[in-house]
Structures are given as C-alpha cells and as structure tokens.
A = this chain, B = another copy of it.
Amino acid sequence: MDGVVETSLSQTRQLVSDMDGAGLLSETPEAILSRINPCSSLSEALSGADYIQENTPERIEVKHDVLTAIEANAQPDAVIASSTSGLLPSAMFENIASARRCLVAHPLNPPHLIPAVELVPGPATDAASLHTARMILEETGHVVVTLQREIAGFVMNRLQGAVLDEAFRLVEQGIVGPEDVDIALRDGLAMRWSVVGPFETIDLNAPGGVFDYIDRYGPMYDDLSIGSEGRADWKGPVRDVVTADRRARLAVDQIPARTKWRDARLAEIARNHLDKREKS
C-alpha cells in the first residue's frame, strides 16, 4: 500500500512540474502539492470531503464494491463521482442506497490538459448533486457538458465513435489512407471545431444561420447516406491497413514519447486559452 501511495505521489509531482513548466499553474507546485493528503484508509481519505471522484478500473463488480465502501465512509452529503467512460450510471449505482448523490464525471484523456468533462446522472441522481459537481468542476477550470439522462457511450464516445466509424469505412472502401483521415481532421475540421463547435460552425456557414444551413445543405448530407451500410467492420481487413500505416509512422515503443509530445502541444493550447481568459 505504501508503495502505491509513493508511486502515485511521484507521478503527481511530475505532472504538476510539467504543468508548471508549461505555464499552466497560478500557484507554485509546492503550494498545490501541499494540499494533497495521501491516506491509507478510505475513512481517512473521505473525512471532510464534499466531492469524491473515484477512478478505479472499469469493471462493474469493482465499481459496486468501491462505491459501497465510499458511501459507508463519506459525509452524508458528499457528491460521489465516477470517472467511468463505459459503464452506465443505472447499472453502477443500482444497489447504492444514496444513489441520489452519485453521478458520472467523465474526463477526456489527458485529463489534466483537456478542459471538457461530461456529467451523466443516473435515474436516481438529484439535481443538487449535479449542480454541486458542476460548480466544483468549473471552479477548477473544467468546461462541463451535462447530459439530461444516460445513454451508452455518453456524448464524448458517441461523437468519437461516429467519426471513427466513418473513418474506418472510408479506409475500408479504399477511398483514403488512415493518414489522410488524420490530416482532414487535424489540419481541417478539428482545427475549426476547436474554435467553434460543429453547431456553431454550421451556424456561421450560412447567411441566415443554422436554420438556413439545414435548408441549403441538409439535402446534400441526406444524399451521402452516411452509415446506411451499417457499421464498418473495425476488426476486418481495415484493421491491418490502419495498423500497417500507423506502425510505418510510429513504432509501438515510441508511443510514450509521442504521447509526451502530444501533451506538450495540448499544454500550449491550454496555456493559450488561459491567456485569453485572463485578458478578457
């Protein structure tokens, strides 16, 4: 147990130091780290906590056990958030007595650099808990997406899945290689969406806004019949095409280095956003 705590603290120190180097902190690393209290028991860890975020593995039995233990040790009104990206709140909180204060708070990887977090209530989650979670997350620099009710994949993975499925289909059909898809997003669509989301994009791309856009371009999208052939077979031959292309560009053992590079770029973007906010 001590080993786990030490490893975790050492990773946190590194992360905070990286964020400091990127100019993302408004306090010294020491001031931030001094607020972290490592504990070796749940009751100690949860004492005085208003908001609890559990990040245990994505297995429903694990979640049940952890949530039951958290519930037994937390303050009566503490909000209990789970970081799951795949398990549904209705299943996770099924046998939890105080399910009213349980919800999903799902960040995007890497969570210390990407502001968006989605909040997903279960059938029993109350509005007060959602509100508290939202306030606390916004105060700590996140931008919150709130779902009205659960849906498989939530919003993030449904949107990511829609893009990936069309991407696999385009490669499967031999229209483009995987790198072309990455260029189309990286140096095209996503560059634009990172400034104005997809609805604002189409709102700005027709003189009368989004209503007008649907009149002008809706029929074009109807003609594309996207998804009409059903899901692409990700495990079919297209998997070898994508794998061969990726491996030609990056050896598997280079993934950690490339991830570091990605995070440095994301940190720059986050820093840029922060500058904007401070100036305004």
Q: How large is the interface on A (under 10, 10 to 19, 20 to 34, 35 or more residues)?
A: 35 or more
- B198, B220, B272: the one contacting A157 at CB < 8 Å is B220
B197 and A182 within 8 A (CB): yes
A59 within 8 A of B: no
**Contact partner, A198, options B164, B208, B211, B218, Cβ 8 Å:** B164
The verdict on A42 contacting chain B, using a C-beta distance below 8 Å, is no
Closest-CB distance, A213 to chain B (whole angstroms): 9
The complex is assembled from copies of this chain, and their number is 2
- Complex-state Cα separation, A258 to B193, whole angstroms: 14
Binds B, one of A7-15, A18-26, A148-156: A148-156
What's the dominant secondary structure at chain A's contact region?
helix
For A207, what are the chain B residues with a Cβ–Cβ distance below 8 Å?
255
Which residues on the B side are within 8 Å of A190 (C-beta)? Answer: 185, 189-194, 197
| Chain B positions within 8 Å of A199 at CB level | 167, 178-179, 181-182, 242, 245-246
Which A residues are within 8 Å of any B CB, using their own CB? 86, 108-109, 114-116, 118, 143-149, 151-153, 155-167, 170, 173-176, 178-200, 202-205, 207-211, 214, 218, 220-228, 230-231, 234-235, 239, 242-243, 245-247, 250, 252, 255, 258-259, 262, 265-266, 268-269, 272
Which 8 pairs across A and B sit closest by C-beta, in order of nearness? A182-B197, A116-B188, A227-B227, A190-B193, A162-B166, A153-B224, A116-B187, A190-B190
User: Can you report 17 residue pairs joining A to B where beta carbons are below 8 Å apart?
Assistant: A108-B189, A115-B191, A116-B183, A149-B175, A151-B173, A155-B180, A155-B184, A157-B221, A157-B224, A162-B162, A165-B221, A167-B198, A181-B197, A182-B197, A190-B190, A190-B194, A222-B231
